[in-house]
Amino acid sequence: MVNLPPSGLSQPLYPWILWNLWLSRNQILFEDKRFSEIETTNKAIKDCREWQLAQPLKPPTAPIKPPLPPRAQNNHDPTKNQTVCFSDGAWESATGRGGMGWILKNQTGLTLLQGSGHRRYIASALVAEALAMKDSISAAINVGFKDLLCLTDCKSLIDMVIGNSSVTSIQGILHDIGVMSRSLDSISFSFIPRTRNEAADRLAKAALVVSVIAPLV
């Protein structure tokens, strides 16, 4: 509720009007003093303005950067500023174990960073693929890269990232990717054949083997 001129107040005025009506009522009963409607209203405006001026100024709130809209990039070759994020997931249906692998490369194909991880239970191969992509983006952000091209050999994942389809099992992961994109200048996604993703595939499969032989804790 914002008061219109001439009060010039940004705070609601009605509490101060009610308060001054109560004070005027007491003054009539106990002091035999009477105030007109205009005097009571002016006193309410004065009290409200004094209270408003006494409040500490709030620092301006920085606007929240919205997530970048996901974009499909048909060209697999990165632009000048893009860091390429290769990712792949491996999944064992019998046990539900999963492995994830990712590699970051520059525009010339030089490997900048790589990593892998595993989990003892993953719901599907698609979830493993999505987790691998999320890990690659997280690693790129932690290093400080701002323009990313994410490549995967999972066509269905690309369709879901850019909004062409949806599956409940990875909605949370896709949300996390969207939130992480707020710190980026650009991010795009593209499907590549498995032959171009062999290095990330090896990392994912090696992580899956580790998850099988690792002792339970």
Confidence at residue 4, expressed as pLDDT on a 0 to 100 scale: 46
pLDDT in tens, 152-175: 999 999 989 887 667 788 888 999
- Return residue ranges of the chain for CATH 3.30.420.10: 83-213
Cα-to-chain-centroid distance, residue 56: 31
Mark out the alpha helices in the chain (DSSP H runs): 14-31, 37-54, 125-143, 155-161, 171-180, 198-213
Mean pLDDT of the region 190-197? 93
Confidence at residue 70, expressed as pLDDT on a 0 to 100 scale: 60
pLDDT in tens, 41-70: 888 888 887 777 777 766 666 555 555 556
pLDDT in tens, 129-152: 999 999 999 999 999 999 999 999
Contact present, 81 and 144 (Cβ < 8 Å) = no
Contact present, 95 and 212 (Cβ < 8 Å) = yes
CA distances from 103 to 150, 164, 170, 202 (A): 10, 26, 21, 11
Mean pLDDT of the region 99-124? 93
What does residue 112 show for φ and ψ, rounded to 5 degrees? -95, -35
Query: Residue 190 half-sphere exposure, CB side, CA atoms within 13 Å?
Result: 18
**Placement of tokens 């009290």 in the chain:** 47
Confidence at residue 217, expressed as pLDDT on a 0 to 100 scale: 42
| Residue count of the chain | 217
Instruction: Give domain 83-213's CATH number out of 2.40.50.140, 3.30.420.10, 3.40.50.620, 3.20.20.150.
Output: 3.30.420.10
pTM over 0.75: no
Contact present, 88 and 129 (Cβ < 8 Å) = yes
